[in-house]
């Protein structure tokens, strides 16, 4: 479970450049909630993830994971509970290390101190099994350097590395945006499968409105540092891109010239 209570994040406070990136945001994700996050450029989506993961410290409010307030914890300390996949396929993996070495490192997350990232026979068997579930043939390339993989393969591997220790919270930051359409579709399907099979509590930022509507059990829309829409259940299943745009326009009190305003 993830809870944000009255979280405010201000860049350059008390200066002429002051920017309120998150304004008194409250949000609770129940265990297994899969929440897609949309909103125009600068709405505060990445800041929300950075505050949850500990990359940024908020000025006010609390972030808690499974009831523990994590405000004072570093990004590193939180990483045992949080899995994250970034837009850049280069960001989540170590290119000069092999697939199995990357997996061994990821496997350490959440483990007790003192354990080593070596690849034992037992671990290798587990890695092969996990890689096979991706259906990309990576299970027969354990000793290949990750830098040689395609962007889609690296994102699939990043996703596996972020999730196979069963994080309490999974953060997906436009993780399919840099891929070509067919690879993006593949990683999207893998995401859906992994998140649902493991009932992972997930926040996923996307600029693709159809993806935001189709995936997950809940959708939030952000604008100017606030959550302006929070739709779940039956209401979400009935959503269309048009109805979502209409609701955005109604809240903002303006007619949208085209959906790029929301899509960025």
Least spacing, CB of residue 24 vs ligand ATP, in Å:
15
Q: Which is nearer to ligand ATP, 43 or 65 (CB)?
A: 43
Instruction: Give 240's strand partners.
Output: none
Residue of 6, 26, 28, 41 interacting with ligand ATP (CB under 6 A):
41
The reply on whether position 158 binds ligand ATP by CB under 6 A is no
| Residue in the structure block whose two tokens are 């509970």 | 81
Q: Does 47 bind ligand ATP (CB under 6 A)?
A: yes
Q: Does 176 bind ligand ATP (CB under 6 A)?
A: no
CB of 58 to ligand ATP, least distance (A): 12
Q: Is 57 in the site for ligand ATP (CB under 6 A)?
A: no
DSSP state of 112: P
Give min distance, CB of 56 to ligand ATP, in A: 7
Count residues near ligand ATP (CB under 6 A). 12
Residues in 211-230 at the binding interface with ligand ATP, rule: CB under 6 A: none
If the CB atoms of residues 151 and 264 are measured against ligand ATP, the closer one turns out to be 264
Helix (H, G, I), strand (E, B) or coil at 102: helix
- Asked if 59 interacts with ligand ATP (CB under 6 A), we say no
When asked if residue 264 is in the footprint of ligand ATP (CB under 6 A), the reply is yes
Q: Is 51 buried (19+), middle (13-18) or exposed (0-12) by CB count in 10 A?
A: buried
85 lies in the binding site for ligand ATP (CB under 6 A):
no
Distance CA 75, CA 94 (A): 18
Sign of CA dihedral 196, 30, 169, 223: positive
Our finding on whether 92 is near ligand ATP (CB under 6 A) is no
Grouping H, G, I as helix, E, B as strand and the rest as coil, residue 68 is strand
| 156 vs 227 by CB, closer to ligand ATP | 227
**In angstroms, rounded to a whole number, what is the distance separating the alpha carbons of residues 260 and 60?**
32
Residue number with CB closer to ligand ATP (19 or 80): 19
For residue 136, what are the contacts with CB-CB under 8 A and spacing of at least 6? 153, 156
The arrangement of strands across the sheet holding 19-29 comes to 19-29, 2-11, 60-65, 68-69
Out of 2, 33, 35, 46, the only residue in the binding site for ligand ATP (CB under 6 A) is 46
Q: Does 191 bind ligand ATP (CB under 6 A)?
A: no
Contacts of 201 (CB under 8 A, 6+ apart): 1, 2, 29, 30, 31, 32, 33, 34, 168, 169, 170
Residues that bind ligand ATP (CB under 6 A): 11, 19, 21, 39, 41-47, 264
């Amino acid at each position: 479970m993830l809870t944000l209570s009255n979280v405010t994040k201000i860049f350059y406070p008390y200066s002429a450049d002051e920017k309120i990136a998150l304004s008194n945001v409250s949000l609770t994700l129940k265990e297994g909630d899969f929440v897609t996050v949309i909103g125009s450029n600068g709405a505060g989506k990445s800041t929300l993830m950075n505050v949850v993961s500990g990359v940024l410290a908020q000025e006010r409010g609390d972030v808690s994971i499974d009831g523990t307030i994590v405000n004072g914890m570093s990004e590193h300390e939180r990483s045992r509970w949080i899995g994250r996949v970034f837009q850049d396929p280069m960001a989540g993996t170590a290119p000069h290390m092999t697939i199995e070495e990357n997996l061994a490192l990821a496997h350490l997350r959440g483990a007790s101190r003192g354990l080593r990232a070596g690849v034992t026979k037992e671990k290798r068997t587990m890695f092969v099994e996990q890689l096979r579930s991706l259906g990309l043939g990576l299970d027969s390339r354990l000793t290949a350097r990750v830098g040689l993989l395609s962007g889609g393969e690296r994102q699939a591997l990043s996703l596996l590395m972020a999730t196979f220790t069963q994080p309490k919270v999974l953060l997906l930051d436009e993780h399919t945006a840099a891929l070509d359409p067919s690879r993006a579709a593949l990683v999207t399907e893998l995401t859906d499968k992994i998140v649902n099979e493991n009932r992972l509590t997930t926040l996923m930022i996307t600029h693709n409105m159809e993806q935001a509507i189709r995936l997950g059990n809940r959708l939030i829309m952000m604008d100017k540092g606030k959550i302006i829409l929070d739709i779940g259940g039956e209401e979400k299943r009935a959503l269309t891109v048009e109805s979502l745009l209409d609701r955005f326009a109604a809240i903002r009190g303006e007619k949208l010239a085209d959906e790029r305003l929301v899509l960025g």
